[in-house]
Amino acid sequence: MNDNDKVRLDKWLWAARFFKTRSLATEAIEGGHVHLNGDKVKPARTVKIGDMLRILATHGEFEVEVVALADKRGPAEVARTLYAETPESAEKRARAAEEKALAPRFEHPDVRGRPTKKWRRQLHFFERNNS
């Protein structure tokens, strides 16, 4: 096996665009959010073609097979050729996105942080009238 057949896991995750920076990829691996062939691993672990990864990122949970290796970050089109997502994983992510879109949202668009004096008065008025 020569050096072209081995890439560090954190570099590969960064090159495949699962994480924006290599340090975020390292933190995810150390936090147990990345599993290589079902095992928790360290960032320096080498990745080979054919390895299966389970990645829990902020934008979803992925189960992918390593198809190609890269240690440099390139365009998104090239990054998508580095892995093949399993059909179950794609279906699961689509289902989760649909559930999130259908879930009720309880956020008021004008409310951020602490309530303003006006908003607090309206809340108190509402509470007094409904109790």
Both tokens of residue 108? 């008021």
- Give the span between the Cα atoms of 129 and 53, in whole angstroms: 56
Read off the pLDDT of each residue in 2-26 and give the average, rounded to a whole number: 89
Reference 47, options 20, 65, 21; nearest CA is 65
Contact between 47 and 86 (Cβ < 8 Å): no
- Give the span between the Cα atoms of 25 and 117, in whole angstroms: 43
DSSP code at position 5: G
pTM of the predicted protein model? 0.76
Tens of pLDDT along 44-70? 999 999 999 999 998 889 999 999 999
Phi-psi region at 91: left, alpha or beta (left = phi > 0; alpha = psi -120 to 50): alpha
Tens of pLDDT along 17-40? 999 999 999 999 999 999 999 999
Instruction: Using the predicted structure, report yes or no on whether residue 111 has a pLDDT greater than 80.
Output: no
- Give the span between the Cα atoms of 55 and 84, in whole angstroms: 13
Reference 54, options 97, 5, 13, 21; nearest CA is 13
What pLDDT is stored for residue 104 in this prediction? Answer: 84
What pLDDT is stored for residue 103 in this prediction? Answer: 86
- Give the span between the Cα atoms of 70 and 64, in whole angstroms: 15
Reference 89, options 52, 67, 61; nearest CA is 61
Q: Is 73 helix (H, G, I), strand (E, B) or coil?
A: coil
Portion of the chain with pLDDT greater than 90, in percent: 73
Quick one: pLDDT band at residue 6, thresholds 50, 70, 90?
confident
